[in-house]
Copies of this chain bind each other. A is one copy, B any other.
Amino acid sequence: MFHHVKDLQFDARVTRPDPRFANLLLEQFGGGNGELKAAMQYFVQAFGCRRAYPEQYDLLMDIATEEFSHLEIVGATITMLLDGVNGELKDAAEGNLVAQMGNGSAKKKDVIGMAMDNPRFLLESGGGPLVTDSVGVPWTGAFVNANGDLTVDLRSNIGAETRAKIIYERLLQFTDDPHVQDSLRFLMTREIAHFQQFSAALSTIEPNFPPGILQGDLRFTHTYFNMSAGEDARGPWNKGKGPWEKGEQWEYVEDPVAQVRETAGQAEKAIEGHQRDEKAVAAAERELAAQRSGEVKSASPAGEQAWSDFETSDD
């Protein structure tokens, strides 16, 4: 269960209202690389790994809960940056904001300016956050990657933290409010820390590549197809040893169209660049399948389960 404490995890402050920056910051409230996405992604992944990986379950719930706390920091900052907007909107009897612009306050002009940038932000929210990104597109569950395999999920998280970090870095370019900069720097830094935490967790699962159980078809794992003609580049991704083990190397297919025709649509393609054989692959798959499916086997033959003891029998 969750519990809430009215202190923020970071003492967020603003020097002055700034509706336009509030609009930009909305990206990290309801955008595709924002705090809600992160919180929900780790929270949802946690269910799937509770039985087999109770330690990493703890990690995922720790970070998910921290991201919900960051979501609150972002929402509070947006609200403070919009301070006054709600009051202007409620001052409805005195006439309208447009008519007053001639002798109007700077605040009124800000409200109107913001209405033009993101009308729905103003009209619908009345001066608070919305569950949308910075242009007003609603947050979607399609942002969340949770696939029930921890070697997959942790890599999704490494990517997610990377993207969140760069968005905060860019947001830092668009405000000169030192208080807001402090909060953004805190939030950005935590993405770096989480990146390291997820990387460390991935290293505790062996083997973790390829993700899942099945190994690749030996004919195609070491092959590079040169699909884009022109100035072709060679580097460790398509030349020499690459990331492969001793004695293995990349196979470079210069002309993929010709190769398709020569190999009867790959059917007659030979294995190249490998040390391993198909027997070794099959053995590895059998062993891994037994181990990994065993890890999620229930301790309760009858099937009845409580969440409080939803862990593997031997834990």
B96 contacts A7, CB within 8 Å? no
Instruction: Say yes or no for A122: interface residue by CB 8 A criterion.
Output: yes
B163 contacts A145, CB within 8 Å? yes
Q: In whole angstroms, how far apart are the Cα atoms of A93 and B44 in the complex?
A: 27
Q: Mark A55-82, 1 if CB is under 8 A from B, else 0.
A: 1111101111110110010011111100
Interface centre among A116, A156, A261 (most CB of B within 10 A): A116
A152 contacts B163, CB within 8 Å? yes
Q: In whole angstroms, how far apart are the Cα atoms of A8 and B147 in the complex?
A: 23
Instruction: Say yes or no for A313: interface residue by CB 8 A criterion.
Output: no
Partner of A48, one of B55, B79, B93: B79
**Contacts A10-B266, A24-B123: A174 and B66 contacting too (C-beta < 8 A)?**
no
**Smallest CB separation, A83 vs chain B (Å):** 6
- A212 to chain B: which residues have CB within 8 Å? 90, 92, 165-166, 169
Instruction: Say yes or no for A264: interface residue by CB 8 A criterion.
Output: yes
Q: In whole angstroms, how far apart are the Cα atoms of A138 and B143 in the complex?
A: 9
B123 contacts A171, CB within 8 Å? yes
Number of this chain's copies in the assembly equals: 6
**Smallest CB separation, A3 vs chain B (Å):** 5
B92 contacts A58, CB within 8 Å? no
**Contacts A69-B2, A226-B62, A230-B6: A119 and B135 contacting too (C-beta < 8 A)?**
yes
Interface centre among A3, A20, A118, A213 (most CB of B within 10 A): A3
Q: Mark A238-281, 1 if CB is under 8 A from B, else 0.
A: 10001110000000000011001100111100000000000000
A152 contacts B166, CB within 8 Å? yes
Q: Mark A213-229, 1 if CB is under 8 A from B, else 0.
A: 11011011111111111
**Contacts A149-B166, A233-B55, A264-B11: A286 and B31 contacting too (C-beta < 8 A)?**
no
B98 contacts A47, CB within 8 Å? no
**Contacts A10-B265, A141-B130, A151-B162: A27 and B124 contacting too (C-beta < 8 A)?**
yes
- A30 to chain B: which residues have CB within 8 Å? 141
Residue of B nearest to A219 (CB): B189
- A196 to chain B: which residues have CB within 8 Å? 221, 237, 242-244
- A109 to chain B: which residues have CB within 8 Å? none
Q: In whole angstroms, how far apart are the Cα atoms of A23 and B308 in the complex?
A: 22
In residues 9-63 of chain A, which contact B (Cβ within 8 Å)?
Answer: 9-17, 20, 23-24, 26-27, 30-33, 36, 40, 43-45, 47-48, 50-51, 54-59, 61-63
Residue of B nearest to A196 (CB): B243
B119 contacts A134, CB within 8 Å? yes
Q: In whole angstroms, how far apart are the Cα atoms of A188 and B212 in the complex?
A: 11
Partner of A193, one of B93, B221, B306: B221
